[in-house]
Structure 1
Amino acid sequence: MTDPTDPLARIAAALERLAPPPPRAADWLTAPAYMWHGDGATALSALAAVPLDLLTGIDAQKAGFAQNLARHAAGHAAHDVLLWGARGMGKSALVKAAVAALQAGGAPLALVQTGGGPDALPGLPPLFAALASVDRRFVVFIDDIGFDGPEATGAARALRSLLEGGAVARPVNVRLAVTSNRRAIVERHLSEQDDPVNPRDALDDRLALADRFGLSLGFHACGQDQYLAMIAGYAGAYGLAFDAEDALLWARQRGARSGRIAWHYVVELAGRAGKPTG
């Protein structure tokens, strides 16, 4: 038996605590959702998602995404999807809600969420390798991606390669769902129009990334009627009454109207009424 007072044994024990053994590999067949950390996954016991029917004001986007996802879950041809546009208009909520709705119907489908932005890309090849041999369909969800800064062009090329034609392309049982606040994924700057050294080459290379997604769904800032319709849908589901003027004041105080702000207002209504929203 090892002597606990032995300095070498104590040093070895300290090193084990600093560098614990790697976690057990996730069981890719059992959980509804997973978080991918770049070199391993954490299985989630539940997928936190609002009911798909509660997402109002984005009917065309909801139908397009849900239909494409249903095809993928059934083993049919389906697209990688770019969901782009205004903040708070339900892009991320739609991805999770559509997956949860198909799971409720018994579809062998799971969500795998990664980090956002270029930092998530180095972890995708090992994730694809882990999922390729699993007899299940997966949606790899990259939320709020953007490519800005000095490493943007290389990161965009890496994702293009993964989407289409690269040596480590994503497997057939995997599709990507990527959200961004801009369709082009990268910012446009006026200086790029006139740069004599690099006239738009890097920009065009990154803009081409959006074209690699077979389905591109735009989410636009909502008007007053759409905002109130969102609140009416949420409030009706929870048995809450609301005053339109009060709802509009809530939006004015926050400087915008969106699905997220509508939901926050309904949470406020429920709190005033002493009711939970889950």
Structure 2
Amino acid sequence: MAFADHLARVSGSYNLPSILFCSMSDPLAQLASFLARAERLLDRLEPLLPPAERVPDWSAAHAFRWRSANGSGYLQAIRRLPQIRLADLRDIDEQKARLESNTRQFIAGLPANNVLLTGARGSGKSSLIKALLNEYARQGLRVIEVEKAELTDLPQIVELLDERPERFIIFCDDLSFESGDARYKALKVVLDGSFAAAPENVLIYATSNRRHLMPEYFAENLESRRVGEEIHPGEAVEEKISLSERFGLWISFYPFDQEAYLDIVAHWLRSFGCRPDEVAGSERAALNFAVERGSRSGRVAWQFARDWAGHQQSRGASAAPVLPASSSKRARSRS
């Protein structure tokens, strides 16, 4: 009876008894009328039904991006990945070794930690995760990229990955939260805050410019109290620290000095096909480029190398002699 009342409310002006108990004087006409009314009724009921789940094609890619709309989400394959290698990441050997070791443990089914990579912008945090995927995709490693705006979908994403044979890293790039942002609670629950255990084939790797992921204000330190010789932070500070503490491994990245910056520039220039003399002649321009950008980061070094190599190759191409069509034909005939 309750279901019939619900249908009556949804159907609005439709007379359900007339639909369900039509007369048989003209069976075909009544049947056509019934089907038309039923179709209109189903159209009105459709928004109340849960959306159909989109099953991802796991063979389509090694990396996926979570997309959500209208209350439902799905995994979108990322078919073109940056072809960056671990060997391309210079002067972060310690950070690279720690993250690679944790990832190798994870792939092998051994205990491994969720990881928070923090520090200077452009120092290789995100590139390191991309390089690890390129290195270990054949061994079953996969990456799911989740934007901050969609962190509330993390429980749904984790459930989707459960019982898959692959090993998944959920990648949250440039992660930080403002005061009052409730999305960090969804991340806390997935990391370590729910009775439901996280699947063994899922880890979270996040990058951030902040160690504690949330802004800290001077006034919050006034809540701290002294107990004997110990200082106990206030509740606001404890809440902010509690999120980053749920990452078992913290890896810090630091700004590059001039020597490291020039080493990265030289590496990328060689990879772009520059000659040794072109690499040696680029140092002053590379330093000026860094001053203009206000940073000696790995990203700035890569951007300079692309600019410099492009100019050198363009200059070489314009200097090469171009034979007229008739001359080139005579040259081929003589050969």
How far does residue 195 in structure 1 lie from its aligned partner after superposition? Answer: 5.3
Q: Deviations over 1:179-233 (max 9, x none)?
A: 010111112211212259xx73122112122121111100111111111111111
Distance between the aligned counterparts of 1:114 and 1:263, measured in 2? Answer: 25
* Aligned-CA RMSD value: 2.9
Percent identity for Structure 1 against Structure 2: 34
Which residue number corresponds to residue 237 of structure 2?
A: 203
Secondary structure at 1:112 match in 2: strand
Kindly indicate whether residue 78 of structure 2 is the aligned counterpart of residue 44 of structure 1: yes
1:266 corresponds to = 305
Structure 2 CA distance, aligned partners of 1:54 and 1:131? 31
Partner of 1:92: 126
Picking from 162, 165, 168, the partner of 1:132 is: 162
Write the deviation string for residues 37-86 of structure 1: whole angstroms up to 9, x where unpaired.
Answer: 24111112233241110110111111111111111112121111100011
Match of 1:82 in 2: 116
| Distance of aligned partners of 1:156 and 1:169 in 2 relative to their CA distance in 1, 3 Å threshold | farther
Name the counterpart of 1:170.
198
Hey, what does 1:190 align to over in structure 2?
218
How far residue 22 of structure 1 moved from its aligned partner, in angstroms, is: 5.8
Question: Counterpart of 1:178 in 2: which secondary structure?
Answer: strand
In 2, Cα distance between equivalents of 1:244 and 1:168? 55
- Alignment check: 8 A CA contact 1:161 1:168 kept: no
2-structure distance, mates of 1:49, 1:187: 34
Partner of 2:144: 112
Contact 1:161–1:169, Cα closer than 8 Å, also in 2: no
Q: Which amino acid aligns with 1:269?
A: W
Q: Compute the displacement of 1:178 (Å).
A: 0.4
Distance in 1 between residues matched to 2:311 and 2:57, nearest whole Å: 43
Partner Cα distance (1:265, 1:169) in 2: 46
- Name whichever of 235-244 and 121-130 sits farther off: 235-244
Equivalent in the alignment of 1:234: 268
- Aligned residue pairs total 259
Aligned counterparts of 1:27 and 1:167: Cα–Cα separation in 2: 30
When normalised by structure 1's length, the TM-score is: 0.84
The amino acid of 1:189's aligned partner reads Y
8 Å contact from structure 1 (residues 37, 123) kept in 2: no
Which residue of the partner structure matches residue 177 of structure 2? 147
Structure 1 residue ranges (4+ consecutive) displaced by more than 6 angstroms after TM superposition: none
Unaligned runs of 5+ in 2: 1-31, 225-232, 315-335
Contact between 2:64 and 2:145, CA under 8 Å: does it hold in 1? Answer: yes
Q: Distance in 2 between matches of 1:156 and 1:202?
A: 14
In structure 2, distance between residues paired with 1:23 and 1:132: 15
Aligned pair 1:63/2:97, yes or no?
Answer: yes
**Counterpart code for 1:184:** H
- Asked if structure 1 preserves the Cα contact closer than 8 Å seen for 2:170 and 2:203, the reply is yes
Larger % of helix: which? 2
Q: How many Å separate the matches in 2 of 1:210 and 1:269? A: 40
- The SS at the match of 1:37 is strand
Q: What TM-score comes out, normalization by structure 2 length?
A: 0.70
Cα 1:23/1:212, change in 2 over 3 Å: closer
